[in-house]
Amino acid sequence: MEHKSNRKNIIYTLVSQFLVLGLALVVPRFILVSYGSDTNGLIGTVSQVMAYLALLEAGIGRAARNELYKYLHGDIYDKENISVIMSLSRKTYRNITKIYALIILAFSFILPYIIKTDLDYWTVFAVVIIEGASGVVSFFFIQNWTDLLAVDGRNYVTSNIDLVYKILIYLVKIVMAVLGVNIIFMELGFFAATLIKLLISRKYMKSHYEWLDCGINTGDRKLKDKGSFMIAEVAWTVFSSTDMIVISIFCSTKNSSVYAIYYMVFISLNKLIDAVYTSLKFNLGQSFHNDKEQYKITHDLYNSVFLGTVSSLMTVAYYLCIPFVSLYTKGITDVNYIDTSLPMAFSLIMILSWCRMVAEHLNGIAGYAKQLGKVSIIEAAINITLSVALVNQFGIRGVLYATVIALPLKIVYCNWLADKVILKRSMLKTILILSVNLILFIVLAGITGLFEITINSYLEFAVYGLVLTLCAIILFTSVNIVLNRNMLSSLKRITGKKLNAKK
């Protein structure tokens, strides 16, 4: 795969994500003002549940992508084997869609009873059903194509289609909120945007992969480790979706709205980095199968670049979160949105999650899905048990720190498996990269007590954000260059030469 794909993935992904990030920050404000915290909390809760239920497909996707890596080498396609894998994954996706639809139907009946909200039963029911219908369309038609595009280094195509899709969604939400119509009509607009996304995706695939035959006879072949990946993703679904569900059940949807605002800040930044990572991780898959020694260098590069970037952005978010929330929720009085304990918890969750990202990807492509599944189940069990135990006493903070406590288990296991078992090398470099970035964030967060940042306008916020981001990125990049001496040469190789070029 030529470096051109890497550059296009980075450029298109960053541009689309910045546009989406801006809209993602603007739209909830319209909903808060027009509908109130209760409705905002409901939409946030349902959206998070749907987003993480969609991870049910990730087990299929990971299994399919791991198999596809073997049959794509630059511009050379093994068309028959690719068609077989795509046919297998499509059948599996469509089977899982039936389960997904049943879960959505069950949620639509149950959720109105178990969450604490002032909204009527049928409004909650309709919101769940309509949002779920969009997931059904994606599962049944679109996701299978997305996997092939990712492995082929064309994640920029997915990014561009998603950009159009999300712009449509946010425009619908803004218009509906301004008009003050029932939120059910807002959800119907969301579903219509999903249908438009389907049409665009279908047209692209027919134009660029006309040779693809998803109806080919697959014989007795099966997707390797599909079941194990699905177990791991179901466990991650439970782990990730615990917070807002627990808060909505044991506290209220107004409290969920508070959580949603802080979550919006941190997840928006996290999605920005994750989108770039997703668009570039095909390098890891192809490198592992082509050159194991070169893979080790790429592995360390990804750890340094992405963990360093996330840690720097979380530092900025920690500094500016409370001033931003104060501005953002100005005039909203139905619940108190200022809680100075939340930024640290959210920051730690994001950073700790990235401490295992690259290693977990390697675990999957190297064939250790079963082991990952078992650890994921334990992690999810710890998180949900602690969340329920702590929420009554500590509220939102208790739920967040339950997640923080649960995360280290899988971090240690994934990195041990990656370094000692798969790569057969010392863990020292990985430990240094992970620990130094985490410690540097904690030190920088700790010194905020020495000064106070007062921001009275969005313009001041933008200036502070720009200055602090530049300073943080320079600092974390410098530290990671010291920790990983191959970082700059590896970056040059990824962006300026062929993937399989020798160092």
| Predicted pLDDT at 248 | 79
Structural domain contains residue 502? no
Greatest Cα pair distance, the chain, in angstroms, is 67
**What are the two backbone dihedrals, phi and then psi, of residue 77, each rounded to the nearest 5 degrees?**
-115, 135
Structural domain contains residue 501? no
- Alpha carbon distance 56, 232 (integer Å): 9
Helix, strand or coil for residue 74?
A: coil
How many helical (H) and strand (E) elements, i.e. helices and strands, does the chain have?
19, 2
Encode pLDDT of 332-341 as tens digits.
888 888 999 9
Cβ partners under 8 Å of residue 329, min gap 6 = 32, 261, 337
* Residue-by-residue DSSP string for 121-169: HHHHHHHHHHHHHHHHHIIIIIHHHHHHHHHTT-HHHHHHHHHHHHHHH
- Alpha carbon distance 253, 269 (integer Å): 24
Show the CA angle centred on residue 350, arms to residues 358 and 68, nearest 5°. 30
- Alpha carbon distance 252, 335 (integer Å): 11
The answer to whether 177 and 186 have CB atoms below 8 angstroms apart is yes
Please report, to the nearest 10 degrees, the dihedral formed by the alpha carbons of residues 97, 98, 101, 103 taken in order. Answer: -110
CA atoms within 13 A on the CB side of 47: 18
Encode pLDDT of 427-483 as tens digits.
999 999 999 999 999 999 999 877 778 888 989 999 999 999 999 999 999 999 998
Cβ partners under 8 Å of residue 446, min gap 6 = none
Predicted TM-score (pTM) of the model is 0.72
- Alpha carbon distance 463, 43 (integer Å): 31
CB burial string 84-117: b at 16+ within 10 A, e below: bbbbbbbbbbeebbeebbeebeebbeebbeebbb
Cβ partners under 8 Å of residue 444, min gap 6 = 315, 318, 472
Helix, strand or coil for residue 193?
A: helix
Structural domain contains residue 279? yes
pLDDT higher than 90, residue 260: no
Structural domain contains residue 92? yes
- Alpha carbon distance 428, 449 (integer Å): 33
Q: Which residue has the higher pLDDT, 412 or 496?
A: 412
Encode pLDDT of 93-114 as tens digits.
888 888 888 888 888 888 888 8
pLDDT higher than 90, residue 347: yes
**What are the two backbone dihedrals, phi and then psi, of residue 213, each rounded to the nearest 5 degrees?**
-120, 95
Encode pLDDT of 209-252 as tens digits.
999 988 888 877 877 766 666 666 666 666 666 787 788 788 88
The answer to whether 360 and 228 have CB atoms below 8 angstroms apart is no
Q: Which residues on neighbouring strands pair with residue 76, listed in sequence order?
A: 73
- Alpha carbon distance 82, 213 (integer Å): 9
Helix, strand or coil for residue 200?
A: helix
- Alpha carbon distance 267, 55 (integer Å): 16
Domain that holds residue 430: 3-496
Query: Which helix (H) or strand (E) segment is 334 a member of?
Result: none
* Residue-by-residue DSSP string for 90-114: HHHHHHHHHHHHHHHHHHHHHHHHH
Q: Which residues on neighbouring strands pair with residue 72, listed in sequence order?
A: 77
Q: Which residue has the higher pLDDT, 213 or 177?
A: 213
The answer to whether 51 and 263 have CB atoms below 8 angstroms apart is no
Domain count, the chain: 1
Structural domain contains residue 463? yes
| Predicted pLDDT at 448 | 81
pLDDT higher than 60, residue 501: no
Structural domain contains residue 503? no
Structural domain contains residue 321? yes
The burial class, CB within 10 Å (0-12 / 13-18 / 19+), for 416 is middle
Structural domain contains residue 166? yes
Taking the alpha carbons of 112, 249, 348, 452 in that order, is the dihedral positive or negative? Answer: positive
> What is the 8-class DSSP label of residue 447?
G
Q: Which of 235, 134, 130 is nearest to 183 (CA)?
A: 130
Lowest-pLDDT choice from 42-56, 185-199, 274-288: 42-56
> What is the 8-class DSSP label of residue 76?
E
pLDDT higher than 70, residue 168: yes
Mean pLDDT of the chain: 84
